């Protein structure tokens, strides 16, 4: 049989993109299954984005992830959106179908819900408080609502963005949603089942910080989750664990959304444990990584 030297191409477009760890995780998964796929981390500025989207078809990529600042700008280039991506209004994963059409999905929120389920928690019937109203919060809120959450409270520094997200949830899903501004040292309502930090507080260089809430209002029985994955055991999660809450870190969400991308592009079940181990190698450093 003639040898095939051509690899199937996937990757990510973003700017900045240097610190994006998805590539190491996807490539570890491709290797584990012996697939001739590559994942390239590519710097694409807004000016270059139209050409980059043309290249997706021209070089016959299998698909591409989008990160800042392209998740919304990509919408006009797509032929079809998943129902959740349509509501969220942003796409992080594009799949090039056999006929060359482009399908857009948002796997961030689905990855979050899946990571929760893997840790024995479900959004169904639960009261959820989300800190933040940016892209990650939006994807998480929509997927939790679609997964049957009872009520979502959005707490955000910029109150207008919190109101917009709560309005979106109420108008597009059956879930109750309210918005709140963020007062320093604010307490968490005592009927909260799941508390999520979906802000970038605590990320990277900001690791000595944590969201300004009254941590003594966190009680055993609550599940507390952070989207920040670097570091994985954030001060936010440490404070919640000290109060007896169950914690779910951001690596689970990252791995689970990566596993969904993998399946969308390859049609194969993802080797999730390989992907989690790779992320632990990158960020875990012996910390509790929840998964």
Binding residues for ligand NDP, rule: CB under 6 A, are 108, 111, 132-137, 156-158, 161, 199-201, 203, 227-229, 250, 253-254, 257
Is 246 marked active-site? no
For residue 69, the minimal CB distance to ligand NDP (Å) is 10
* Token code pair at residue 73: 């700008």
Cα distance between residue 40 and residue 17, in whole Å: 11
Over the range 23-38, which residues count as b (16 or more CB within 10 Å of their CB) and which as e?
Answer: bbbbbbbbeeeebebb
For residue 49, the minimal CB distance to ligand NDP (Å) is 17
Residue 121: partners with Cβ closer than 8 Å, 6 or more residues away: 194, 223, 246, 248
Question: In the complex, which residue's CB is closest to ligand NDP?
Answer: 134
* Token code pair at residue 109: 């929120």
For residue 138, the minimal CB distance to ligand NDP (Å) is 7
For residue 14, the minimal CB distance to ligand NDP (Å) is 11
Question: For 14, which DSSP code?
Answer: E
The active-site residue out of 43, 62, 71, 126 is 71
Cα distance between residue 259 and residue 108, in whole Å: 11
Name the residues annotated as catalytic: 71
């Amino acid at each position: 049989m003639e040898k095939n030297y051509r690899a199937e191409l996937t990757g990510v477009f973003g700017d900045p993109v240097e610190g994006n760890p998805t590539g190491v995780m996807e490539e570890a998964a491709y290797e584990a299954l012996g697939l001739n796929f590559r994942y390239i981390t590519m710097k694409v500025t807004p000016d270059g984005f139209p050409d980059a989207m043309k290249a997706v078809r021209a070089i016959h990529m299998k698909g591409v992830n989008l990160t800042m600042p392209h998740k919304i700008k990509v919408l006009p280039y797509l032929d079809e959106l998943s129902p959740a991506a349509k509501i969220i209004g942003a796409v992080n994963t594009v799949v090039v179908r056999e006929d060359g059409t482009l399908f857009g999905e948002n796997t961030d929120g689905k990855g979050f819900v899946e990571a929760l389920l893997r840790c024995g928690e479900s959004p169904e019937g639960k009261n959820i408080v989300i800190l933040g109203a940016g892209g990650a919060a939006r994807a998480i809120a929509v997927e939790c609502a679609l997964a049957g959450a009872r009520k979502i409270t959005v707490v955000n520094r910029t109150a207008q963005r919190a109101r917009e997200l709560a309005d979106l949830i109420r108008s597009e899903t059956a879930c109750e949603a309210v918005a709140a501004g963020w007062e320093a040292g604010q307490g968490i309502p005592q009927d909260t089942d799941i508390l999520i930090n979906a802000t970038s507080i605590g990320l990277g260089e900001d690791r000595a910080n944590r969201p300004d809430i009254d941590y003594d209002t966190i009680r055993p029985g609550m599940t507390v989750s952070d989207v920040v994955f670097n570091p994985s055991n954030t001060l936010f999660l440490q404070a919640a664990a000290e109060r007896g809450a169950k914690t779910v870190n951001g690596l689970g969400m990252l791995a689970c959304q990566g596993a969904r991308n993998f399946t969308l592009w390859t049609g194969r079940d993802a080797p999730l444990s390989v992907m989690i181990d790779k992320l632990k190698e990158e960020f875990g450093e012996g910390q509790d990584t929840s998964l």
